[in-house]
Amino acid sequence: MWEKTLGELDALTLDDLTAEEKVDFDVYHQQLTTLVEAQRHRIWERPATADSAFWRSMAFTAYRLVLEDAESARAYLRMLGDIPRYFDQQIENMRAGVARGFGPARVCMSGREEPVRVIAEADDVTKLSFFGPFRRIPSVVPEQVRTELHEAAAQVLSAEVVPAYRKLLEFLTTEYLPNLPESIAAVDQPGGLEFYRSQIREYSTTDLSPQEIFDLGQTEVKKIREEMEDVAAELGYPGDLPGLFEFMRTSPQFYATTKRQLLAEAAYTCKAFDRVVHQYFGRLPQQRFAIMETPAEIAKFDTFGRGAPDRYLLNTYNLPARPLYSLPSLTLHESAPGHSFQISLAEELELKDFRRLYISAFGEGWGLYTERLGDEMGMYETPFERMGMLSFQMWRAVRLVVDPGMHALGWSREQAQDFLRANTAIAEHEIVTEIDRYISWPGQATAYYLGQLTIQQLRHEAEETLGEDFSIRDFHDTVLGMGSVPLIVLQAHVRAYIRTAAGH
């Protein structure tokens, strides 16, 4: 199907298209190419990673869902009732994948069945996140109707949802997880090197080879390390980054003692950004976001934070693994001016439906760019917070090394962990969970730094060409003005802006 559509797209005469239609063409062409490659490699047969899975997506959906009236509540009930069919389909896909040796490595999926177990063994279904939206039904819905909906929800959760999770748990523990591949390398999966390169193309929207990405990563690691050495000297650790990292990982002063403290520190950074936002952005999103805790069912294996248009989820599980010196960078990336800000702006644009899909290289590249922008905006108030920012920059640069290293160049899991540990101050818990995420999700980790480098290079071009006429507000509005696009489309768009601004 998608090959036929791609062929029809290629048959178009580009000279007949308007500028906006050419952007639509380029975005759609990249999406279709990705879909064709996904069909070729039957990517749906590995629908779970160490970081994300369809059963966790269901919990996220429930956590975010707002039921505005009885009609939307009944639609949600129908969706819950369809979970058994959906899970059965996914089980068949995973069964087909593992039968041909196609799936994430066994070592990185250890324990990932635990969020499933929480629901499968639930004693009280009304305490599950699935029930939460029914508690939030507004009072304009008559009390009797709300009571009926609560009873119907408890019934469908008990009769349909929990049994579906029990069946999934049985499949995961007895059939799927024990039979996953031993090798961590994507090149050892069906499809080999071409499978891995297809994942690089999907997530980074570039055609760089694994070796090219690896070499670029090594170069960037060296650059950031030089910046780190300067901060280390300022903090009294000249030439001793390992000593500084160990101090930052283990000193109690850098860790919140309560969940409320962690959430409050994040809120402080959000409001500090509000103080300077108009200096850096002309167009602001109308949508506001809340700061909320990551759902308990998934917190153990989830990342430190996640941003969405209406909320910034902060993981308060295992507070000794959540350093405060990293929190300003994380908050800028996940909330504003990062994901919550960028995605909200994109949703306000008048775009075709296919232009609303998330493209990792753009979205994650922008998020990482905002962390570095935080230095310009004065968001890092201590040398430790600045080291936290540099550590986060290094973390993403390290990904360019360890992702192709493990998936194509023979690196072991332990070698990747050691490289991340030696070059960053991130907590030990995250070192383990992050490397397992990269193993299970080939190519995705390359999107962040490659996207940031593209935005930084475009900004450098704009500053060099426009000189005193360069406007940081106009530049940011231009970058965010098309929604999420492949990097090559972003480059063409920003360079056209530069030519226009320069009067060419």
Q: How confident is the model at residue 298 (pLDDT cuts 50, 70, 90)?
A: confident
> Has residue 482 got a pLDDT over 90?
yes
Task: Find the mean pLDDT for residues 253-271.
Answer: 98
In the chain, % of residues over pLDDT 90: 90
Q: How confident is the model at residue 303 (pLDDT cuts 50, 70, 90)?
A: confident
User: Distances from the Cα of 48 to the Cαs of 172, 214, 320, in angstroms?
Assistant: 11, 25, 27
Q: Is 311 helix (H, G, I), strand (E, B) or coil?
A: strand
Q: Length of the chain, please?
A: 504
> For 126, phi and psi rounded to 5 degrees?
-75, -10
Residue 328 is predicted with a pLDDT of 98
Rounded Cα distance between 346 and 172, Å, is: 37
Residues 6+ apart with CB under 8 A from 230: none
Residue 140 is predicted with a pLDDT of 94
Task: Find the mean pLDDT for residues 388-409.
Answer: 98
Residue 391 is predicted with a pLDDT of 95
Q: What pLDDT, in 10s, does the model give residues 175-226? A: 999 999 999 999 999 999 999 999 999 999 999 999 999 999 999 999 999 9
In the chain, % of residues over pLDDT 70: 100
> Has residue 162 got a pLDDT over 80?
yes
Task: Find the mean pLDDT for residues 391-396.
Answer: 96
Lowest-pLDDT range, 52-56, 448-452, 455-459? 52-56
> Has residue 504 got a pLDDT over 80?
no
- Domains of the chain by residue range: 2-39, 54-182, 195-450
Residue 299 is predicted with a pLDDT of 84
Per-position DSSP letters for 108-154, written without gaps between them: GGTTTTHHHHHHHT-S-GGGSGGGHHHHT--TTS-HHHHHHHHHHHH
> Has residue 113 got a pLDDT over 80?
yes
Task: Find the mean pLDDT for residues 47-55.
Answer: 93
Residue 426 is predicted with a pLDDT of 83
